[in-house]
Structure formats: structure tokens, C-alpha cells
Structure 1
């Protein structure tokens, strides 16, 4: 019996490696029926699939707010917002529909009254002059916990943001 010759493995191309490390979210828009959109997040790339759908790409560690809404002839059937951190290859993640591979879930709220409150919390951060992508990820966990318990979330202020930036700098 002869040994088969070893075929050298080809190193992964940089483009393929970069593409594999990105988080993909499928966005859909069917007027008055189904809408998936990004409320905030820095899009790193995009692929158009059809007139009604596209895939947006995010770099690792990007913070993203992904909103899903659907309706029938009688009104809203489902509304949901997920705020997640795009993961790096090898990181643990939570699967989320329409998100590949998934993400670190910071907030997951469903039902229009709570989704509306979450959107207001995002508006409040922007009213402070801050980008919701850049604030402390723990704030979105706080908002999730408070809204889930039926309580009002604390406002995210510029002072709170400065304290988080100092803490992040100390942590390295």
C-alpha cells in the first residue's frame, strides 16, 4: 500500500477571511407587510439580493440595532428589536433570525409598546449628541432589563459616557 501524496493546503485569501469574520443581516421590505431594518450600526458592506431584500455586513465588535416588524390585514402581528454586538470568529454567540452567524445579544425586546420605549431610549442617546454605536454596551443590557421588568430605564448622559470611556481606557 502506497501513501497518497500530501496536497499542500492553500492559505485562505485575505478577502475570504475578512468576509468570513463579518456578521451578515438580511433586510427585507414588503410594504405594509414585513420590514427588517437597521436602527443604528456602521454598515461595512452590502449585497443586494432583490428589489425587496439585501444583506448588510458588519465588522466584528460593531454594535447594531436590528428591528423586525410584520403585519397582516388587521394590523401589527409582530414587532421586535435586538441590539447585538457582532462577534469575532470563535466567539460564543446567540442565534438571531436573519443574522448570520449571530451575535452577542445585549437587548432583545418584543411587543410594540416595549419596542417603542426602546426606540425612545435610542432617541434619548442621540439627543445627548452621542452615537448609539459608541456608548457603553452595558447600557443596552440595562435598558433590556428595565423594560422587561416594566420599569423606566435610566438616561444615558454625557457624564455617564465619559465615565465609561475612562473605565475602558483603564481596562486596556
Structure 2
């Protein structure tokens, strides 16, 4: 036995627990029906299940953006973007479809107009030379709260990023 099957067969583990206590994200791609993808994030492992499905594994503390879209014969039925932090074993987390065991939700937007605005916000952060997975978690929470009340979030600037990195370095 290898891979996910071996990991979940270990004594004391839940049947579908991610190996080595990593957060697993199942991605599905059925053109124009169900499309899940990672907008940013750095997985430590990937397992291809078949030509339409794969699993990405993220270590505790890793930040990643998961985009989920689905449609039927009448049009779009789901557009969602979640920015999540992978949790450590035993850490409290929220459940998210396709994410095992779940994650710390830093941001969630629903509906294509908000998802599109959020993708543009991520693009703007990359444009100034910052990797979105290095952005301060509090910024993603700020953006989530501003989007929730239909307000524009503050831009994430290089100055804010430097302040976050300095605070993280000194343990504040």
C-alpha cells in the first residue's frame, strides 16, 4: 500500500485523514461543469487520481487560495474563492468542501463579481512584487470584512508588507 491509502490505513487515523497530517485539497476539472483550482499556494506534494482529479497537500501554516466554480444547463451555480491557512494537527478549523481536515478561513467571497474583484486584488499584490502567500493573514481578513459590507479594501502595499515581516520577525 502506498500514498493516501497507506496513510489512512495507519492505526488510530481516520479513514480519509491526510498523510503526515498535511491538509489535502481535492481539485476537480470537468470543463464547463465543475472547475476547482489553486490561485496561489505552495503544495508539498501532488497526487494525480485521474485525468480530472488530483489532490494537493499543504503543510501546517501554509496559505493558499482555492477557487471553486460550477455550472449546469441553466448557468453558473457556484463561484467561490477561499483563502485558507492549513492547520496543524489538533488545531481548530472550519470545514470547507474538498479540503481535509479543513482550514482557517482568512477570506471567503461568493458570486462571480466578488470572485473576479478578489482575483484582481491578488493580481495587484503580485504586480508590486509580493507573493500572495506571504501576505499578512490580517490583510486577507480585512479584505473579507470589507467585501462583506460592499466597501473597497485598503491596498496591500510594500510598506504594509515590510511592517508585517518585521513584526513577524520580532514575534509581535
Q: TM-score range by the shorter chain?
A: 0.7 to 0.9
Superposed, 1:11-50 pairs within 5 Å as 19-50=19-50
Counterpart of 1:160 in structure 2 is: 160
Deviation digits for residues 118-151 of structure 1, max 9, x if unmatched?
1111111101100000110111101100011101
1:20, CA displacement in angstroms? 2.9
Give the match's secondary structure for 1:156: coil
Superposed, 1:125-144 pairs within 5 Å as 125-144=125-144
Aligned counterparts of 1:99 and 1:74: Cα–Cα separation in 2 = 27
1:87, CA displacement in angstroms? 0.4
Aligned counterparts of 1:78 and 1:29: Cα–Cα separation in 2 = 14
Deviation digits for residues 30-65 of structure 1, max 9, x if unmatched?
011110000000011011111110111001100010
Counterpart of 1:171 in structure 2 is: 171
Counterpart of 1:55 in structure 2 is: 55
Aligned counterparts of 1:139 and 1:169: Cα–Cα separation in 2 = 17
Q: Which runs of 5 or more residues in structure 2 are unaligned?
A: 1-9, 13-17
Aligned counterparts of 2:66 and 2:11: Cα–Cα separation in 1 = 34
Aligned counterparts of 1:11 and 1:54: Cα–Cα separation in 2 = 25
How much is the aligned-residue C-alpha RMSD, in angstroms?
Answer: 1.8
Structure 1: 4+ residue segments shifted above 6 A = none
Larger CA deviation: 61-70 vs 73-82: 73-82
1:11, CA displacement in angstroms? 10
Compare CA radii of gyration and give the structure with the larger one.
1
Counterpart of 1:90 in structure 2 is: 90
Aligned counterparts of 2:150 and 2:135: Cα–Cα separation in 1 = 23
1:22, CA displacement in angstroms? 0.4
Q: Which runs of 5 or more residues in structure 1 are unaligned?
A: 1-9, 13-17
